[in-house]
Amino acid sequence: MTDQAAPTIGWLGTGRMGFELAVRLLNSGTSLKVWNRTREKAEPLAGLGATVVDRPADLADCDIVFSIVSSSDVFVDVTLGEGGLLTVDGSVPGLLVDSSTISADASERVRQAADKVGCKLLAAPVSGSPKVIKSGRLGVVASGPREAFDTARPYLERFGNTVTYVGEGDHARLVKICHNLILGVVTQVLSETTVLAEKAGIARADYLEFINGSVMGSVFTNYKTPGLVNLDFSPTFTGHLLRKDFELGLDAARELDVALPVSAQVHQMVVDMIGNGLGDEDFSHLLTMAARGAGLELTSEDRDDVSDGLTPPIDDLSQRRPE
């Protein structure tokens, strides 16, 4: 890294999650150089002071680069492919912090390539949605060289409210995959029981209000409630992405000889949901599938008084928006 007081920071990937995380860094006073495959999605960040560049390689002169992309193949491409971050002779970042949910194999491939050119890789997947990021409640899990974690930690702490270091290598990747298995299983059982209650004549809003106020409620069940009540399936995390993560988790379980019978069953339900043409919308369409199986026709309850439990935000790093 350079000797200047403030490290230069790059950002790869401004999808739904990446955009909001970049906003938080910019609102904290961090200067960013930003790249996204679809440039138009990154350009609004210029209103907060970001510099938008044309290629991942244009971030090679940064001290630290953060990345969050959609898949293993994309991560390998933006780092090692043509015009990739790590392909510029004599110029690489000292640290790459990746928050994508990808396979350990892809991560290890990039890690080895990064080591050869003098760049450390820190895996730092995140837990939450764009709404969770805005509320300041995002969770981060990280693994890799301890020195790399200590360098990145001040920035990761601006992402949300918890940052957990779980050791060397790619342990954080598996932790995030385990997290997303829980995500799918909880959503499935929440969908099933909501349909059971509704078929007995109980309003979804009333059932979910009780669950959210009980020991079984959580940040997750709260912020999914408005969508389940009003049948808003605008994607925060698509069925296709959940299927990808379930398959990564089941692959890891086979390698480690761990039985995941419940996760395996929910995986098949996610596949069924995608087969019914719902894969591009939010994965909470598991509710739709549970209702179809029960012969229940869902209608929106049109409730505008149902809270997602996330507002107001607990900090001010999401308050200033791109112009």
pLDDT tens across the length of the chain (323 residues): 444 568 999 999 999 999 999 999 999 999 999 999 999 999 999 999 999 999 999 999 999 999 999 899 999 999 999 999 999 998 999 999 999 988 889 999 999 999 999 999 999 999 999 989 999 999 999 999 999 999 999 999 999 899 999 999 999 999 999 999 999 999 999 999 999 999 999 999 999 999 999 999 999 999 999 999 999 999 999 999 999 999 999 999 999 999 999 999 999 999 999 999 999 999 999 999 999 999 999 999 999 999 999 877 778 787 778 86
CB 58 within 8 A of CB 47: no
Domain 9-169 has CATH 3.40.50.620: no
**Domain spans in the chain, listed from the N-terminal domain onward:** 9-169, 174-293
Tell me which long-range contacts 47-52 makes (C-beta under 8 A, separation of at least 24).
Answer: 47/321, 47/322, 47/323, 48/23, 48/320, 48/321, 48/322, 48/323, 50/11, 50/22, 50/26
pTM: 0.90
CATH superfamily of 174-293: N-(1-d-carboxylethyl)-l-norvaline Dehydrogenase; domain 2 (1.10.1040.10)
Give dist(CA 171, CA 100) in Å, integer: 13
Nearest Cα to Cα of residue 223 among 215, 234, 231, 212: 212
Give dist(CA 300, CA 232) in Å, integer: 8
Give dist(CA 44, CA 30) in Å, integer: 16
- Count of beta carbons in the 10 Å neighbourhood of residue 133: 25
Cis peptide before 312 (omega within 30 of 0): yes
Residues belonging to the chain: 323
